[in-house]
Structures are given as C-alpha cells and as structure tokens.
Amino acid sequence: MRNLTCLLLLAALGLPSKPAFAQDKAKTEQRIKPSIPVKVQIVFTELDGEKKVSSLPYSFNVLVDDRPGGRYSVNLRTGIRVPIEVEAKDAKTTYLDIGTNIDCGVHAEEDGRFRVLLNVERSSLYPNKSTEGERLVNEPNGLPLVRQFRMSDELLLRDGQTSDLILSTDPLNGHVLKASVSITIVK
C-alpha cells in the first residue's frame, strides 16, 4: 500500500516513477543493440590507361550501429612484414608493414540509406621493373621504394548500391587507383 501511495504521489507531481539513472540505462541499452548485419565489399583496382594491372577485393560483415557519432566496428589488417636493415653501430634489422588496413563502420540514416565510414591505408613495394625488364625506378642504396595511400571518407549508400571512386594517380608511373564500395543487407 505504501508503494502505491508513493507512485500516486510521484505521478501527481509529474515525477518519473523510475530513478533517472534507470531510465538512462534503459535508453542506452536500447540504442546500443546492434541492428542488422550489412556486407561491405571494397575492391581496389589499379589501371594503366584502360588496362587493369591489379584488383584487390575485400569483403566483410558489419553490424549497423545505431549510436550517434562515427565509430568503426570492423578493423581489417592484412599484409606482410618486410625486413629492412638499419645502418647503425649495432646494425639491427627492423620490419616495415606492407599491406592494407581498413577500418569501417556502418550507421543507419532515417531515410533508409546507410552512412559508411571508411579509413583506408594501403602500402606496397614499388615495382622496380616493367614486364619488359626495363627499370622504372632507381632504388636508393638498393632499398625498396614503398607506395603509400591513405584515405578517410563517408559515403551514403542504399542497400545494393555501389559507389565508384577514383582515389589517386601514381606520380611515378601514371597508374590510376580506383575503389568500388558496395553494401548489401545480409538476410
């Protein structure tokens, strides 16, 4: 009876029956629940004029995040470690990471589209010979040259939509790097 009297008194005063921290916790739990899985596919294509030189596809599932703000929920790291000798008294070998790093997050928009957050870093050893065997680049002190590319972007895509981006042109050989990003709701 005492609890009922307290609840009626709180209602008459316009105060919530649950403590504020309990309401905030319920709202936070509801907002944090992951929604639906989305398959993200990113394909990097390198072109020499019209000729495709290479194509690197990456595909992974991301849970749509309903929390406000930009968050990455998938972190993909793939590549190799190249040994590099360091000239010093103690002549050590250090390693250079070569490969692709992708951070991706997907957020639902109110209009049915998805905001895809991407942070991409790619590095590769620069080819020092063409297919005909002629030298393309002089290597300083015999050490490899490393190409590097970094990008952060936000895309608005619908289920099944693909966005094609021209990312950059290599200043040494003129090759164009493109990226194709697509999303599909996993059913």
Using a pLDDT cut of 90, give the percent of the chain over it: 40
Q: Has residue 158 been placed in a domain?
A: yes
Q: Has residue 91 been placed in a domain?
A: no
Q: Has residue 93 been placed in a domain?
A: no
Q: Has residue 5 been placed in a domain?
A: no
Q: Has residue 2 been placed in a domain?
A: no
pLDDT in tens, 107-131: 988 888 999 999 999 998 876 555 5
The tokens describing 160, both together, are 């099944």
> 74 near 101, Cβ under 8 Å?
no
Range of the domain at 49: 31-78+100-127+148-185
pLDDT in tens, 134-187: 445 555 555 667 888 898 999 999 999 999 987 788 887 888 999 999 999 998
Q: Has residue 72 been placed in a domain?
A: yes
User: Is residue 106 classed exposed, middle or buried when 0-12, 13-18 and 19+ CB atoms within 10 A define those classes?
Assistant: buried
Q: Has residue 12 been placed in a domain?
A: no
The Cα–Cα gap between 184 and 113 comes to: 11
State how many domains the chain has: 1
Q: Other C-beta atoms within 10 Å of 111: how many? A: 7
Quick one: how far is CA 130 from the chain centroid? 32
